[in-house]
């Protein structure tokens, strides 16, 4: 009976350790998601991920006709910060309002660039996906 209880305690502890990062505040959860693919707990290194994940902040949001131009910057990189220009092809008022809100309060965002070189920006309360990357460089 004690082995069963010990197994249950270990199982519950493992489940809590796995789920705990997803109950953190957004900025900590986002940093966790950015750092985890690069770290293997056994060896300290891992294989190259199939997609790129970065923490970014919106520096500028401009609406031009039916699309929205975004300038995103990586925070804390100093004078050589990396910036990207993204274009949202379908700039609905809801998407524009969400992006303006994130830019106004300087919300940290999760930028994922997939194999097709399409960008996806995730925030604490939504996402804007399938963005075209027009310029991706270091300043």
From first to last of its 139 residues, the chain has per-residue pLDDT tens of: 788 989 999 999 988 888 888 888 988 888 888 887 766 656 655 555 677 888 999 988 988 877 888 889 887 655 566 788 888 887 788 888 899 999 999 899 999 988 888 899 999 999 998 888 887 665 4
pLDDT for the residue 79? 56
**pLDDT at residue 82, as a whole number:** 76
- The confidence score (pLDDT) of residue 8 equals 92
pLDDT number for residue 47: 57
Pairwise CA distance, residues 103 & 88, whole Å: 15
| Residue 5 main-chain phi, psi, to 5 deg | -65, -40
The pLDDT of residue 53 is 87
pLDDT for the residue 38: 63
How high is the pLDDT of residue 40? 60
Measured between alpha carbons, how far is 95 from 102 in angstroms, rounded to an integer?
11
Enter the pTM of the model.
0.77
Name which of 57, 107, 111, 105 is nearest 81 in CA terms: 57
Q: What are phi and psi of 133, to 5 degrees?
A: -95, 115
CA 112 to each of CA 5, 36, 39, 43, 64: distance values in angstroms, whole numbers, following the listed order: 42, 14, 17, 25, 24
Domain ranges of the chain: 2-38, 52-138
Question: Is 61 exposed, middle or buried (CB count within 10 Å of its CB: 0-12, 13-18, 19+)?
Answer: buried
CA 49, CA 60: separation in Å to the nearest integer?
29
pLDDT score recorded for residue 51: 79
Cβ–Cβ under 8 Å, residues 66 and 91 = yes
Question: How high is the pLDDT of residue 137?
Answer: 63
pLDDT of residue 42: 63
25: its two tokens:
């505040």
């Amino acid at each position: 009976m004690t082995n069963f209880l010990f197994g249950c305690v270990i199982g519950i502890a493992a489940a809590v350790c796995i789920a705990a990062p997803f109950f953190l505040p957004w900025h900590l959860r986002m940093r966790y998601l950015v750092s985890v693919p690069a770290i293997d707990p056994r060896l300290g290194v891992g294989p190259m991920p199939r997609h790129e994940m970065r923490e970014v902040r919106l520096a500028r949001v401009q609406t031009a006709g039916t699309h929205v131009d975004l300038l995103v910057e990586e925070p804390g990189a100093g004078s050589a910060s990396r910036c990207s220009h993204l274009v949202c092809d379908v700039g609905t008022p809801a998407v524009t309002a969400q992006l303006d809100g994130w830019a106004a309060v300087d919300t940290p965002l999760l930028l994922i660039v997939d194999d097709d070189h399409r960008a996806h920006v995730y925030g604490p309360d939504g996402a804007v996906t399938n963005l075209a990357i027009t310029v991706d460089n270091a300043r």
